[in-house]
């Protein structure tokens, strides 16, 4: 279910010019109007006036940077058409950061479903494994309700073909299952082959916030067996998968992923989740 995230904004402005116009507040991204308020007829000059705008952030969630501005136009039918705006003021200073749509008050009520990613990816033939050192950053999670959400960072080996994909991956995770009010976090391994398995360990060797750990996944090509290692110690084995027998991967990626748009991607600007020391294994090379 899509949860609407709304905030009520009171925008104060003045106009020292002259004449009658319709004034409105708009949310602008590089000359593109993402959302706007109703228009209000006013006669300039005037001192401090207020336009109230209910901002639905789900409308502008795919914009990374935006600003609130005040516009004037000649007719009520021109409201929302920047080409017909006769005046513009702003950006308007607000009490919260306007360069990122995801504010704390939004996160508390929104949890827009869907998978979202940041990643580095390569296509390499004959892949058997991947490895990376990942800094643990759990981040904040969307909503304070029972919506399912998850964030994770991992190394991944996949076999891609027209119309589908198989994969094996391992890293750290934080999740809130839909019917559960608390959170789980730890290390995990996930595989899609002849069968599907997601193995989560939130009890033993749980990565601490800010700690760095080595994650490795590696396959025995002849048996189709995958193993997941954490700091060079194997902790999970998926044995004898018929799909992966004699089927090496053909793409590799190091990824941050979230389910629930308003959940923090692992890491922030000031506390990054670093994925480094990345390496791969093929039929002719080693990790």
Share of the chain above pLDDT 90, in %: 53
On the question of pLDDT at 1 being above 60, the answer is no
pLDDT of residue 179: 58
Average pLDDT, the chain: 85
Q: Using DSSP bridges, classify how beta strands 164-176 and 184-192 pair: parallel, antiparallel or unpaired.
A: antiparallel
Strand-pair partners of 178: none
- Give the other-Cβ count within 10 Å of 199's Cβ: 15
Specify the CATH number of the domain 112-282. Answer: 2.60.120.200
pLDDT tens for residues 142-190? 765 657 888 899 999 999 987 789 999 999 999 988 756 678 899 999 9
E-assigned strand segments in 79-183:
85-89, 115-135, 149-161, 164-176
pLDDT of residue 215: 97
Q: Using DSSP bridges, classify how beta strands 249-259 and 149-161 pair: parallel, antiparallel or unpaired.
A: antiparallel
* Residue with tokens 């994969």, as numbered in its chain: 167
How is residue 230 written in tokens? 């954490």
On the question of pLDDT at 12 being above 90, the answer is no
d(CA 93, CA 37): 17
On the question of pLDDT at 217 being above 50, the answer is yes
Under DSSP, is residue 96 helix (H, G, I), strand (E, B) or coil?
Answer: coil
């Amino acid at each position: 279910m899509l949860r609407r995230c709304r905030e009520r904004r009171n925008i104060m402005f003045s106009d020292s010019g002259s004449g009658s116009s319709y004034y409105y507040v708009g949310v602008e991204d590089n000359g593109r109007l993402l959302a706007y308020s109703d228009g209000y007829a006013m006669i300039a000059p005037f001192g401090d006036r207020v336009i109230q705008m209910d901002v639905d952030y789900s409308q502008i969630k795919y914009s990374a940077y935006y600003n609130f501005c005040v516009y004037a136009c000649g007719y009520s039918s021109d409201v929302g058409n920047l080409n017909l705006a006769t005046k513009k003021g702003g950006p308007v200073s607000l009490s919260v950061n306007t360069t990122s749509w995801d504010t704390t008050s939004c996160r508390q009520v929104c949890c827009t479903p869907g998978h979202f990613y940041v990643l580095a990816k390569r296509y390499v033939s004959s892949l058997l494994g991947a490895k990376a050192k990942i800094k643990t950053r759990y981040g904040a999670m969307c909503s304070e309700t029972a919506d399912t959400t998850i964030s994770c960072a991992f190394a991944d080996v996949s076999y891609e073909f027209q119309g589908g994909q198989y994969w094996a991956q391992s890293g750290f995770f934080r999740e809130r299952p839909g019917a559960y009010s608390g959170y789980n976090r730890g290390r995990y391994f996930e595989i899609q082959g002849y069968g599907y398995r997601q193995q989560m360990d939130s009890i033993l060797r749980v990565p601490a916030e800010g700690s760095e750990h080595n994650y490795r996944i590696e396959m025995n090509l002849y048996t189709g067996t995958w193993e997941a290692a954490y700091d060079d110690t194997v902790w999970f084995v998926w044995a004898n998968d018929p799909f992966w027998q004699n089927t090496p991967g053909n793409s590799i990626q190091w990824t941050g992923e979230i389910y629930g748009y308003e959940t923090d991607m692992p890491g922030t600007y000031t506390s990054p989740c670093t994925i480094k020391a990345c390496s791969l294994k093929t039929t002719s090379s080693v990790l």
